[in-house]
Structure 1
Amino acid sequence: MVGATLLALVLSSCVTNNEGLIPVADNVHVDKVDEIAADLPREVAESGRLIAGTNIPYAPNEFKDEAGNIVGFDVDLLNAVGKVLGLTVDYKQADFDKIIPAVQAGTYTMGMSSFTDSKEREESVDFVTYYRAGIQWAQRTGEPVDPNNACGLRVGVQTTTTEDIDEVPAKSEACVAAGRPPIKKVKFDSQDDVANALILGRVDALSADSPVTAYAIKRSGGRLEAAGEVFDSAPYGWPLVKGSPLAPVLQRAMQYLIDGGQYQQIADNWGVGSGTITQSQINGAAG
């Protein structure tokens, strides 16, 4: 059992964000585009803001810096979309699994929390896509784990993510079908908790979206490394109420940033440029 003092040190050294890793958002210039903003739903235009539900932390996409500000790739991108539309973005923290229900209830205008756009989720909300990420496993350095041969191992995931709902259970079921022990899925409320559990030896590997795993490895001080390659690439999207008239306006604003190069610049600033897209879609999940 790890003593309380050692545990605190490990948590601090793993999850404290290095200010040097956080880029300056103001170096990307974005202006309001009146012809796009003119198509905003009246209630959104009159409010002057987008209310976005987000789950913190999920670095580098959305997390808090040392001053307590919500920052990240997703944040810089949605702020840029807001500038195109002449809106400010008001971020509301929530448990990940409560964001989509809150969007459906009208509590939030939209969600912004690295949601994978899936056919299952599209049954309840619409998505505007803005990125493409895969799944990436991590292991303790020098302790190899094969994501395709993980039967009987403990694998950490953040609750209600694609890795929790789909990927790890499917692998576990395949183990059982082959007469082998299932994967012991261990769920945590935040991605930092998942990474800390791996460092502390409470799980044998973690599974998360590729940019998140890469950032956790970067911040681990050499204690974590990639386990295998990126796989199962799929789009990220912002969830909105089904049939929302805001969706096509957000899609146009996103496409404007893609075509103008600001989108790629924002992604490159955060080191996630390899997953950028060339076409934003409404409901872009693969069939």
Structure 2
Amino acid sequence: MKKIISLVTILTIGVFVFVGCGKSSTTDGSLTKVKDAGTITIGIDDTYPPMEFKDSANKIKGFDIDMANDIGKKMGVKVKYVPTSWDGIFLALKAKKFDLIQSSVSITDKRKETMIFTTPYIYGGNAIFVKTSNNDINGEKDLNGKTLGIEMGTTAQDVLAKITGIKEVKKYNAMTEAFMDLKTGRIDAVVSDPQVGDYYISDKKSDFKQVKSMLNQEPIGAAFRKSDVALRDEYQKAMDELKKDGTLSKISIKWFGNDIYKK
């Protein structure tokens, strides 16, 4: 997980500048609704370790989960998770199936057209993972003629669409399925967030490795409906307090083995 450090050193820049935000509002009703209910509902894709996933006891856990639970405490509300397939999670937010998404959502210009975000709390992106024995793929230029695996609906799809010469991009419902096909040789590489791929292969170093060269880097934040400015602002306030009091650093060390928030 040491690779994450280089991706998030600029996290502290612009902490108080909201991404894709409008003017703060206390009258849109979104915060009042959550406070009155006493519960904030959060959409997640629970197949994305170490960020959000189910353990062997079917309990939801991960970096995002610990962080959201502590934000809920700061806000004085309970937290309820709504597991949702990634390819439908943004439509579910729009349909008000939950109040927000905190599930490793990359902040992109396209997504900012329909949603508002907190400031980035981590930086991810798209890394290439191959079998340990593969020395032919060392970066983007080596993807020509290759078959790649990605999770359906992730930004990897857009990134790879801009690269010419790729033979095929196979889309999976979960990264675990993609890595299984990589192991059996059905695909040549998997493209995934580095922290997710690193966590998955942490006990499988004999089978997989991450290619040193990243395809891109992406800021990650919590996503809200455009109308819910008041709720986003309160969530951001709690997030900032957790960073300031060292809680996020403790969560980072727990899941990544190092403090990604250390200046």
Q: CA deviation at 1:221?
A: 5.0
CA offset digits 1:229-279 (Å, max 9, x no partner): 34522211111110312011111111101111110110111016465488x
* One-letter code aligned to 1:124: T
Residue number in structure 2 paired with 1:249: 234
* Contact residue 61 and residue 73 of structure 1 kept, 8 A: yes
More helix by share: 1
Aligned mate of 2:156, from 140, 163, 169: 163
Aligned mate of 1:91, from 81, 90, 111: 81
1:4-23 matches, cutoff 5 A: none
Structure 1 consecutive aligned stretches of length 4 or more whose deviation exceeds 6 Å: none
Q: 1:118 to 1:110 in 2, by over 3 A?
A: same
Residue number in structure 2 paired with 1:107: 97
1:126-275 matches, cutoff 5 A: 126-128=116-118, 129-144=120-135, 145-149=137-141, 150-164=143-157, 166-171=158-163, 173=164, 175=165, 182-220=166-204, 222-244=206-228, 245-271=230-256, 273=258, 275=260
CA offset digits 1:95-134 (Å, max 9, x no partner): 1121111111211101122110101001011111321113
Residue number in structure 2 paired with 1:282: none
* Contact residue 132 and residue 205 of structure 2 kept, 8 A: no
* One-letter code aligned to 2:49: A
Q: 1:68 to 1:103 in 2, by over 3 A?
A: same
Give aligned pairs, total. 231
Between the aligned partners of 1:111 and 1:277, the Cα distance in structure 2 is 25
Q: CA deviation at 1:219?
A: 3.3
Higher relative contact order (CA 8 A, sep 6+): 2
TM (norm. structure 1) is: 0.76
* One-letter code aligned to 1:162: T
SS at match of 2:65: helix
SS at match of 1:228: coil
Q: CA deviation at 1:183?
A: 3.4
Between the aligned partners of 1:113 and 1:52, the Cα distance in structure 2 is 9
Between the aligned partners of 1:277 and 1:247, the Cα distance in structure 2 is 25
Q: Percent identity?
A: 26
TM (norm. structure 2) is: 0.83
Between the aligned partners of 2:231 and 2:201, the Cα distance in structure 1 is 37
Aligned mate of 1:78, from 58, 68, 90: 68
Q: 1:45 to 1:277 in 2, by over 3 A?
A: farther
Between the aligned partners of 2:245 and 2:100, the Cα distance in structure 1 is 24
Between the aligned partners of 1:230 and 1:269, the Cα distance in structure 2 is 24
Q: Which has the greater radius of gyration?
A: 1
SS at match of 2:200: helix
CA offset digits 1:173-209 (Å, max 9, x no partner): 3x3xxxxxx3311110001111111111111000101
Gaps of 5+ in 1: 1-38, 176-181, 279-287
Gaps of 5+ in 2: 1-28
Q: CA deviation at 1:64?
A: 0.7
SS at match of 1:120: helix
Between the aligned partners of 2:155 and 2:206, the Cα distance in structure 1 is 26
